[in-house]
Structure 1
Amino acid sequence: MTSSGSPDRAGGRPAPEAPAISELGAGIQLTDVGRAFGPTVAVQGVSLTVPQHGHLAIIGPSGCGKSTLLNLISGLDDPDEGSIDVLGATGSADRLRRCAWMPQRDLLLPWRDVLGNAALALENQGMRRKAARIQVSGLVERFGLGSFERKLPHQLSGGMRQRVSFLRTLVAGKEVLLLDEPFGALDSITRADLQQWLRSALQSEPRTTVLVTHDVEEALLLGSQVIVMSARPGRVAAHYDTDFPAGASRRELLRLPEFTELRDELLARLEEAS
């Protein structure tokens, strides 16, 4: 692990080991980005780089600009200062075409079954409904939805609904996934199960991913790098590169001394940043 202003630790990746970034190129790059809404400065001087197929987790106190950063990256908003590059796209419309967003609420259409909701992204791209359902049906088993294809949203648990939401996000075919507190409304047991599931899903379906979360353990489980934002105006207060065993289960990771050490350090950084 490498932190701005902190020594390397046993569970992390030393800063010089960056060939993977140059090999694939940068997926997302922000340079001195700032955004204000009237007199309120939401974020200021934010610079970060996410390698292609890298996973960035953003944590920070409420109101520090985490969701603002997602809006800016996705092209739904433009910065007042600095620049944003998403896979070579700098204009808002081009950034938007490269990004898929998974919000905290699943936003499933209540009159569509699992296949119909998951296929919606393909239909929005012009694919006929039947063809879209056929294409999605080949993926539902992999996402633990095989026996739920014909179920309506009200017949699903919260965790199953979030799996459908993630599948819909993934089949959109976008290279960049933006995840805004995707498990924030779930109970702790379901959340833990989905953290393990999403960790495996991102390993099997590589995407450049940005996750916003208030959960430090979730950030470490799902992020190959973690940044801590300061209180408003949001700045990058600390940055860590993590390198935990890819094949380890959630339970195994939580028991690693280097995991617990980094978790405690992140919690301390959060207290300082608030």
Structure 2
Amino acid sequence: MLEYRNVHKSFDAGAGPLPVIKDFTMTIREGEFIVLLGPSGCGKSTLLRITAGLEPTSMGEVLIGGRPPDLRRRHRLGFVFQEPALMPWRDLVSNVTLGLEIRGVPKAERERQAGELLGLLGLKGFERYYPHQVSGGMKHRVAIARAYIVDPIILLMDEPFVALDAQTRESLQRDLQDLWQRRKKTVIFVTHNLEEAILLGTRIVVLSSRPATVLLDCKVELPMPRDPVSREFVALRQELRGLLV
């Protein structure tokens, strides 16, 4: 379980503190796919960085499994950024296995796990290719596999598909959904794309403009895979758009 308790975050803006997150409280249960939806610059990415221990809170705390913030780093957290950030001198399978290599997992076992994940993400046969030899969409699939292979308790995803063309983005959304349904990891996914939020999330949390507060926290009851032209999908999209206008 992941808990945010009265989290506040401000940055020093020179002329005084700039509030970014205000009194954010939320509980996330194991296996949920949470989508943080809100306008650009509202603090979504900052909240992920706080969760990962990359930013301190100004007030409040984040607990994982009931443990205080100073113990968070002992837990396994996966992070997928907007850019894949692959190591160009390592082939795809070696990029995926880096976390297991650091942990001392034997090569045969880590390559077995990487091969399984790459296969699930449509990259079977590309294991020995290098990043410069594959497309942007393939690189993002490798980044997802790299985050999953360390068996994270929580997977944080910061607009990972934002720079991709529509067709590649839709393909990756399907692959991510399939992988989540197989592995049921707890995911916190940041986006400002309404359709992406509804396609992927089991629960959508809508944030206000800065300083971010919760405008809506709703479960998405639609069965997967979701049909963007269904009456229920369109109705939810209109409701969310009304909050963000």
Query: Within 2, Cα distance between the matches of 1:233 and 1:142?
Result: 39
Question: Aligned-pair distance for 1:130?
Answer: 5.2
Q: Tell me the residue number matched to 1:261.
A: 235
Gaps of 5+ in 1: 1-26
Match of 1:240 among 218, 221, 227: 218
Q: Secondary structure at the match of 1:234?
A: coil
> Conserved in 1, the CA contact under 8 Å of 2:117 and 2:149?
no
Aligned residue identity for 1:76:
L
For 1:54 and 1:90, locate their aligned partners in 2 and report how far apart those are by CA, in whole Å. Answer: 21
CA contact (8 A) 1:89 1:95 kept: no
Tell me if 1:171 matches 2:149: yes
Q: Structure 2 CA distance, aligned partners of 1:92 and 1:102?
A: 22
What displacement does 1:129 show? 4.5
Confirm or deny: 8 A CA contact 2:75 2:153 kept in the other structure.
no
The answer as to 2:187 corresponding to 1:209 is: yes
Q: Which residues of 2 match residues 1-274 of structure 1 at below 5 A?
A: 27-38=1-12, 39-95=17-73, 97-129=75-107, 131-246=109-224, 248=225, 250=226, 253-271=227-245
Matched residue of 1:126: which SS? Answer: coil
Q: 1:74 Cα deviation (Å)?
A: 1.3
TM-score using structure 1 length: 0.83
* SS in structure 2 at match of 1:254: coil
Tell me, in whole angstroms, the C-alpha distance in 1 between the residues paired with 2:10 and 2:42: 12
With the length of structure 2 as denominator, give the TM-score of the two structures. 0.93
Post-superposition Cα deviations, 1:136-188, rounded to whole Å, max 9, x if no partner, equal 22332222111111111111111111111100000011110000001011001
Runs of 4+ in 1 over 4 A off after TM superposition: 128-131
What 5-or-longer segments of structure 2 have no aligned partner?
none
Amino acid aligned to 1:115: V
CA contact (8 A) 2:38 2:206 kept: yes
Secondary structure of the structure 2 residue equivalent to 1:67: helix
- Aligned mates of 1:92, 1:195 — CA distance in 2: 34
Is the CA contact (8 Å cut-off) linking 1:55 and 1:225 kept in structure 2? Answer: yes
Cα distance in 2, alignment partners of residues 122 and 36 from structure 1:
36
Q: Shift in Å at residue 70 of structure 1?
A: 0.4
Please name the residue that 1:16 is paired with.
none
Q: How far apart are residue 115 of structure 1 and its match?
A: 0.7
| CA deviation string 1:27-78 (max 9, x = no partner) | 2111211011121111011111211110110111122110111011112222
